[in-house]
Amino acid sequence: MLLTGSQILMECLLEQDVDTIFGYPGGSVLFIYDEIYKYSHKIHHILTSHEQGASHAADGYARSTGKPGVCIATSGPGATNLVTGIATAYMDSSPVVFITGNVAVDLIGKDSFQEADITGITMPITKYNCIVKDVTKLAEIVRKAFAIAKSGRPGPVLIDIPKDISNTKTEYTKATDKELNQYNSLGAKTSPVSSEEVETFKEMIVNAKKPYILVGGGVTRGNAFEETRKFAEMIKAPVGCTLMALGSFPGNHIQFSGTVGMHGSKASNLGMSECDLLISLGSRFSDRVIGDVRKFARNAKVVHVDVDGAEIDKNVVSHHSIVDEIKNVLTKMISAMQDCDLNMKPKEEWLAYIESLKKHNQVQVTTHKGRITANEIFDDIYKATKGDVFIVTDVGQHQMWAAKYFSFDFPKKLITSGGFGTMGFGAGAAIGTQAGNPGSHVLHIAGDGSFRMNCNELSTEEYYKLPIITIIINNGTLGMVRQWQTLFYEGRYSNTDLDRGPDFVKLADAYGIKGYEINTMEEFNEALSESLNSGKPAVLNCLIGMDDNVTPMVASGKPINQFVLD
Amino acid sequence: MAKYTLSVIVENHAGVLSRVTGMFSRRGFNIDSLAVGVIEDPAFSRITIVVDGDLRDVDQVEKQLGKLIEVKVVNVLQDDITTVRELMLIKVNAPVEKKAEIVQIVEIFRGKVVDVSPYSLTIEATGTHDKLKAFYDMLVPYGIIELARTGPVALQRGPNVLSNKRKR
The ipTM of this complex is 0.86
Which chain B residues touch A128 with a CB distance below 8 Å? 69
Residue A514 annotated as catalytic: no
Among candidate residues A96, A100, A89, A186, the one with its CA nearest the CA of residue A144? A186
Convert B23-35 to b/e letters by CB count within 10 Å (16 or more is b).
bbeeeebeeebbb
Q: What is the pLDDT of residue B81?
A: 84
Low-confidence stretches of chain A (pLDDT < 70) are 362-369
**Other C-beta atoms within 10 Å of A383: how many?**
11
- Measured between CA atoms, how close is A53 to chain B, in angstroms? 27
Helices (H), strands (E): how many in chain B? Answer: 4, 9
In single-letter form, the type of residue at position A56 comes to H
Among candidate residues A492, A474, A483, the one with its CA nearest the CA of residue A547? A483
Does residue A378 sit in helix, strand or coil? helix
Residue of B nearest to A183 (CA): B69
Which of B22, B26, B64 lies nearest to residue A310, judging by beta carbons?
B64
Which of A186, A189, A313 lies nearest to residue B168, judging by beta carbons?
A189
Residue A236 annotated as catalytic: no
* Burial environment of residue A41 by CB neighbours within 10 A (0 to 12, 13 to 18, 19 or more): exposed
CB contact under 8 A, B60 and A124: no
Q: What percentage of chain B has pLDDT greater than the value 70?
A: 98
Q: Is A313 on the interface with B (CB under 8 A)?
A: yes
As a whole number of angstroms, the distance between CA A489 and CA A482 comes to 9
Q: What is the pLDDT of residue B168?
A: 42
A64 close to A56: Cβ distance less than 8 angstroms: no
Residue A182 annotated as catalytic: no
Which chain A residues touch B22 with a CB distance below 8 Å? 123-124
- Measured between CA atoms, how close is B8 to chain A, in angstroms? 17
Q: Which of A113, A171, A338, A386 is catalytic?
A: A113
Question: How crowded is the C-beta side of A280, counted as CA atoms within 13 Å?
Answer: 34
What are the two backbone dihedrals, phi and then psi, of residue A520, each rounded to the nearest 5 degrees? -130, 165
Q: Which residue(s) pair with A72 in the sheet?
A: A23, A99
- Measured between CA atoms, how close is A128 to chain B, in angstroms? 7
Q: What is the pLDDT of residue A165?
A: 98
Residue A114 annotated as catalytic: yes
* Burial environment of residue B81 by CB neighbours within 10 A (0 to 12, 13 to 18, 19 or more): exposed
| CB-based contacts of A267, cutoff 8 Å, min separation 6 | A238, A240, A257, A258, A354, A357, A358, A360, A361
Q: Which of A127, A144, A150, A163 is catalytic?
A: A163
What's the mean per-residue pLDDT of chain B? 92
Q: What is the pLDDT of residue A365?
A: 63
Which chain A residues touch B54 with a CB distance below 8 Å? none
Q: Which of A11, A15, A35, A51 is catalytic?
A: A51
Please report the residues numbered 134 through 173 in chain A whose beta carbons come closer than 8 angstroms to any beta carbon of chain B. Answer: 148
The larger pLDDT score, comparing residue B126 to residue A188, is at B126
In single-letter form, the type of residue at position A103 comes to V
Which chain B residues touch A309 with a CB distance below 8 Å? 63, 66, 168
Residue of A nearest to B61 (CA): A310
Q: Which of B11, B19, B26, B29 to mutate to test the interface with A (most CBs of A within 10 A)?
A: B19
Classify residue A242 by its DSSP letter. Answer: -
As a whole number of angstroms, the distance between CA B67 and CA B19 comes to 11
Strands (E) located in A496-557: 514-518, 538-543
Q: Is A121 on the interface with B (CB under 8 A)?
A: no
Q: What is the pLDDT of residue A80?
A: 98
